[in-house]
Amino acid sequence: MKVEHANPLMFVEELLADAKTRGVWRWPRLLESPQEPVARYDGREVINLCSNNYLGLANHPALKAAALEAVARFGVGSGAVRTIAGNMSIHQELETELAAFKHTEATLLYQSGFSANAGTVAAILEKGDVVVSDELNHASLIDGCRLSGADKKIYPHKDVGAARRMLAESRGARRVLLITDGVFSMDGDIAPLPDLVTAAEEYGAIMMVDDAHASGVVGKDGRGTVDHFGMHGRVHVQVGTLSKAFAGLGGYVAGSRALIEWLMHRARPLLFSTSHPPSVAASALAAVRLVQHEPDLIRRLWDNTRFFKDGLRRLGFDTGNSETPITPVIIGDEARAMQFSDRLFEEGVFAVGLAFPTVPRGKARVRTIVTAGHTAQHLERALAAFQRAGTTLGVISP
């Protein structure tokens, strides 16, 4: 006889029903074309303001050719974790290129920016250590802090004075890590890196920067915030991603040779998860080289950024303190942000709505990112759509 048991996962259905009632649950839209400035989502050609494909390289012929060549030469998979049998020559070639790009002794490739952040923090801190962290740091840094077991001290966004007080309080700790995003992913503002670095130096803390949104975007040839602020040699741990401006997949840590050798020995994503397929490493390598040979890409990205950001501000939208191509349109109410995004989609523009837990409660927004590949016409059409949708929903006055 079959015994009926209560479903122990019932709470998931209840939580889901609640999110749906509040209008904040969405299944992601389906991309049915390459990732381009105008792309096909959910069966519709729309101006795409959602991707992190900053330099428009996701469908670039040189990157595609590099990936195909790597498949022909090395096959489709590495066959093992890096530390067992999956350490391929193409991985190391990419690491050498990235170290030269970042002006550091060495770099280490991870499967993603997420695993680079989480895996690195957890490999250099342990219980009894202290991490001093910006409240808006990326989830992967937060998870790394949790995994490490270190005591967490969270300072208000970009508040260097508060960070200093926390560093002072942590004087007795064995190791202290000061950690910040270089460019904040939901707000598009830049960390006060020079002041943080000075504070870290004064208190003997390790300085770490997550430059996921700065690499390929900020600094000479996109070397990131460390280059932008002239901080080479003063930031112990830099993280970058290959999944945004470099248009593929993967993360890396840049720093001293000793740091990299330690991480290869201890970082759990390296020890327990398979390394990149060779095609992924090859296209990233092509991207890093291309960016240094075609400075026009970054110039176009910034021209488009200025044009679009100015346009949104002129229309009366609240774009927060954004200083980079990430430009949020802050709405506040979660359901309203989602409605605004839906309305824009009807107008032919894809700009995703973001609510808690991606952004703090009460700070829901539509986030936009323009790319080097958008034309003036794309951006003008997008601004007209923002104006219509914003007026209709009362986000801006007519």
Ligand X SMILES: Cc1ncc(COP(=O)(O)O)c(C=O)c1O
- Closest contact distance (angstroms) between CB of 187 and ligand X is 11
What CA–CA distance (Å, rounded) separates 168 from 130?
11
Q: Which of 212, 237, 270, 315 binds ligand X (CB under 6 A)?
A: 212
Instruction: Say whether residue 251 binds ligand X (CB under 6 A).
Output: yes
Instruction: Check whether the bond before 8 is cis (ω within 30° of 0).
Output: no
Compute the least distance from the CB of residue 285 to ligand X, in Å. 16
Decide if residue 180 touches ligand X (CB under 6 A).
Answer: no
Q: Does 368 bind ligand X (CB under 6 A)?
A: no
Look at residues 136, 252, 134, 121 and name the one whose alpha carbon lies nearest to residue 199: 134
In the complex with ligand X, the residue whose CB is nearer, 199 or 212, is 212
Which is closer to ligand X, CB of 181 or CB of 347? Answer: 181
Radius of gyration of the chain (CA): 22
Strands of 326-332's sheet, edge to edge? Answer: 326-332, 364-369, 353-354
Write out the binding residues for ligand X, residues 285-314 only, by CB under 6 A.
Answer: none
Residue 185 contacts ligand X per CB under 6 A: yes
Q: Which residues belong to the active site?
A: 185, 213, 244
Q: Which residue has the tokens 């104006």?
A: 387
Question: What mask, x for binding ligand X by CB under 6 A, covers residues 87 to 126?
Answer: -------------------------xxx--x---------
Distance in angstroms (rounded) separating the CA atoms of residues 66 and 74:
12
- Residue placing its CB nearer to ligand X in the complex, 148 or 387: 148
Nearer to ligand X, 117 or 170 (CB): 117
CB 356 within 8 Å of CB 334: yes
**First CA to last CA distance, the chain:** 68
Q: Contacts with ligand X in 335-364 (CB under 6 A)?
A: none
Of the candidates 82, 213, 236, 343, which one interacts with ligand X according to CB under 6 A?
A: 213
**Which of 337, 351, 338 is CA-nearest to residue 382?**
351
140: tokens are: 């992967």
Q: Say which residue the tokens 């900053």 belong to.
A: 54
Q: What's the closest the beta carbon of residue 143 comes to ligand X, in angstroms?
A: 11
The interface with ligand X within residues 18-77 (CB under 6 A) comprises: none
Beta-bridge mates of residue 350: 48
Instruction: Give the C-alpha separation, 116 to 285, whole Å.
Output: 18
Contact between 140 and ligand X per CB under 6 A: yes
Where does this chain touch ligand X (CB under 6 A) — which range of 28-36, 72-80, 209-217, 290-298? 209-217
Q: In what order do the strands lie in the sheet with 44-48?
A: 38-41, 44-48, 349-350
Nearer to ligand X, 243 or 319 (CB): 243
- What residues line the site for ligand X (CB under 6 A)? 112-114, 117, 138, 140, 181, 185, 210, 212-213, 241, 243, 251
